[in-house]
């Protein structure tokens, strides 16, 4: 063996050992917890390589605290969004166009009326939901839905007042439409959050088809974006593209495929999102204002047909790398950070509802890097559409099959 070959092998061994070292900024708890093999064992769809160590297939973690996932109700009809009311009950959207209120014991109300017509075909319907931070005083509810229009359909945002008897929405008004409309039934995005200033963060999809896909990169389109608007549907002053010619002032970030998960980190206040990749390449991103997240120019996925996407590149200057990605996909939908003291080891972890993967993913995140992954409730065989932290410190999740779960410390 030549001296040069020995040097190469030695260098490779050093590099491998360096990659195995736990980041210096990782907490001791995470270090002790992140020693297992990656939870994903299936072959990737592509031969693409991560841009940095730990960007995919991180070591597994396992919760030491005993927990239980209890089915509270199995009679919901394609639930899509879930969030808490101030009194701890839950308000849930159902895809076909209804809302229901559920107690934490699983008692579900009759459908709430007064909601504008939705287009429920394909991936459309009544989608994400949040209540006004001042709900106790004004009883206002905000939601996202796929709205039928003369020229197709689009992702829209509406608001209305929940009546005192909780049977109807009063004065429902559409406050924002993510134009242009398109005659398709895929990739609406559809999540909604309130930020610390009581503005709305909205996610949209790029409507999937190859003719609309490029609009994720266009600043004059609301497709494939994260948006920031006021409670009246206007662009928030100080948005990153305010005053820029040819750009919509409501845009907050762009280059997204289909964002179905949005959450603020409870300590840093950073905005995080998850979005669907095609065949491979589901992403977790930390959103910064004005940044370009790459789709469809860069991706870690391939077409469903197996063909490459675009120029088949994963890295490009001026485009953000995902903090983490999955291949094969987990089909990430609703997300929430855990902030309760009920299960201390879960604190500040991110929980992600998985559709095709049929589990809830738990990600341990330290200093904006994923340092551990766990799969919860994978034996349930459910497509987990959304997950939220309740007022009682438990997690509540809804599934496409109609179940409402409470996940809590035993």
Cα–Cα distance, 304 to 108 (Å, whole number): 38
Whole-angstrom CA distances from 44 to 57, 166, 250 are: 10, 48, 37
Phi, psi of 136, rounded to the nearest 5 degrees: -60, -25
CB of 255 within 8 A of CB of 294?
Answer: yes
187 is catalytic: yes
CB of 343 within 8 A of CB of 410?
Answer: no
End-to-end CA distance of the chain: 59
DSSP line for 276-307: --SBS-EEEEEE-TT-B--TTTB-S-B-TTSP
Per annotation, catalytic residue among 187, 218, 256, 359: 187
Total residues found in the chain within this entry:
410
Q: Return left, alpha or beta for 72; rule: phi > 0 is left, psi -120 to 50 is alpha, else beta.
A: alpha
Sheet of 90-94, strand order: 79-84, 90-94, 98-102
- Strand partners for 126: 145
Both tokens of 212, joined, read 């609309």
Q: Comparing C-alpha atoms, which of 151, 276, 277, 130 is closest to residue 195?
A: 130
Q: Which regions of 85-125 does DSSP assign to beta strands (E)?
A: 90-94, 98-102
Show which residues are catalytic. Answer: 187
């Amino acid at each position: 063996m030549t001296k040069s070959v020995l040097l190469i092998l030695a260098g490779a061994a050093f590099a491998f050992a360096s990659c195995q070292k736990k980041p210096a900024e990782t907490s001791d708890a995470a270090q002790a917890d992140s020693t297992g093999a990656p939870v994903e064992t299936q072959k990737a769809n592509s031969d693409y390589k991560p841009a940095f160590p730990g960007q995919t297939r991180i070591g597994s973690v396992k919760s030491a605290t005993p927990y239980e996932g209890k089915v509270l109700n199995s009679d919901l009809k394609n639930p899509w969004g879930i969030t808490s009311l101030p009194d701890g009950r839950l308000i849930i959207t159902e895809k076909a166009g209804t809302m229901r209120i559920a107690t934490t014991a699983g008692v579900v109300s009759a459908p709430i009326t007064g909601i504008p017509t939705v287009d429920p075909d394909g991936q459309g319907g009544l989608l994400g939901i949040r209540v006004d931070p001042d709900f106790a005083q004004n009883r206002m509810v905000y939601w996202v839905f796929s709205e039928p229009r003369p020229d197709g359909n689009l992702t829209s945002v509406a608001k209305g007042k929940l009546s005192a008897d909780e049977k109807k929405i009063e004065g429902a008004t559409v406050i924002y439409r993510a134009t242009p409309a398109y005659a398709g039934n895929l990739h609406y995005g559809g999540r909604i959050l309130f930020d610390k200033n009581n503005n709305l963060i909205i996610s949209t999809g790029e409507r999937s088809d190859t003719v609309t896909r490029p609009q994720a990169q266009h600043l004059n389109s609301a497709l494939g974006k994260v948006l920031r608007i006021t409670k009246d549907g206007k662009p928030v002053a100080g948005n990153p593209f305010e005053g820029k010619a040819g750009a919509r002032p409501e845009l907050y970030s762009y280059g997204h495929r289909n964002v179905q998960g949005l959450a603020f980190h409870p300590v840093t206040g950073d905005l995080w999102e998850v979005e669907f990749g095609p065949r491979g390449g589901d992403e977790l991103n930390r959103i910064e204002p004005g940044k370009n997240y790459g789709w469809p120019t860069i991706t870690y996925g391939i077409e469903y047909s197996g063909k490459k996407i675009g120029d088949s590149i994963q890295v490009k200057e001026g485009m953000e790398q995902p903090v983490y990605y999955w291949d094969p996909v987990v089909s990430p939908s609703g997300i929430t950070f855990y902030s309760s003291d009920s299960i201390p080891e879960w604190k500040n972890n991110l929980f992600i509802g998985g559709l095709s993967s049929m589990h809830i993913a738990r990600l341990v995140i330290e200093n904006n890097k994923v340092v551990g992954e766990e799969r919860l409730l994978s034996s349930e065989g459910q497509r987990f559409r959304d997950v939220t932290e309740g007022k009682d410190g438990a997690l509540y999740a809804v599934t496409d099959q109609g179940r409402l779960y409470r996940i809590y410390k035993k």
